[in-house]
């Protein structure tokens, strides 16, 4: 099963997916929100941050798993890089975009997403990669 998943995902495919998704997230989080539709659910954007960062960390952790056979230090590095990426995005929003502001709650939502993504990755790894 591990070999089939490795072939299906492939480290190159995950690399391309990771780059594309990271650029997409960057665009979404830095795109001006002047004409963006408003959703009437309070704090709905925080749910979006959780989901976006959860998916982001899963993609990059899967890439590291397939590329390095699960090097723990590199996995921790991915989590830290994604965390600091979220902080950098918030700083860029505050400094360069009038319709965007930095929000500490967004950083918290990003962190929750990273944690949930890491937990999901652990489950994926256990089910698909650690079977004998």
- What proportions of the chain, in percent to the nearest 5, are helix, strand and coil? 80, 0, 20
pLDDT-derived band at 93 (thresholds 50, 70, 90) equals: confident
Counting residues of the chain whose pLDDT is more than 90, the rounded percentage is: 45
Average pLDDT of the chain?
Answer: 84
Mean pLDDT, rounded, for 66-95? 88
In the predicted model, is pLDDT for residue 95 greater than 80? yes
Model-level pTM?
0.84
Cα–Cα dist 82/88, whole Å: 10
User: Are the C-beta atoms of 112 and 52 separated by less than 8 Å?
Assistant: no
Mean pLDDT, rounded, for 13-27? 93
């Amino acid at each position: 099963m591990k070999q089939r998943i490795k072939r299906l995902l492939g480290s190159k495919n995950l690399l391309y997916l990771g780059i594309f998704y990271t650029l997409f997230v960057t665009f979404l989080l830095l795109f001006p929100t002047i004409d963006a539709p408003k959703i009437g659910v309070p704090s709905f954007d925080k749910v979006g941050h959780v989901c976006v960062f959860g998916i982001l960390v899963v993609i990059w952790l899967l890439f590291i798993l397939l590329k390095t056979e699960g090097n723990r230090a590199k996995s921790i590095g991915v989590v830290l890089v994604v965390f600091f990426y979220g902080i950098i995005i918030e700083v860029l929003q505050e400094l360069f975009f009038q319709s965007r502001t930095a929000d500490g709650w967004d950083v918290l939502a990003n962190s929750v997403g990273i944690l949930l993504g890491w937990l999901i990755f652990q489950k994926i790894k256990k089910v698909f990669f650690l079977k004998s």
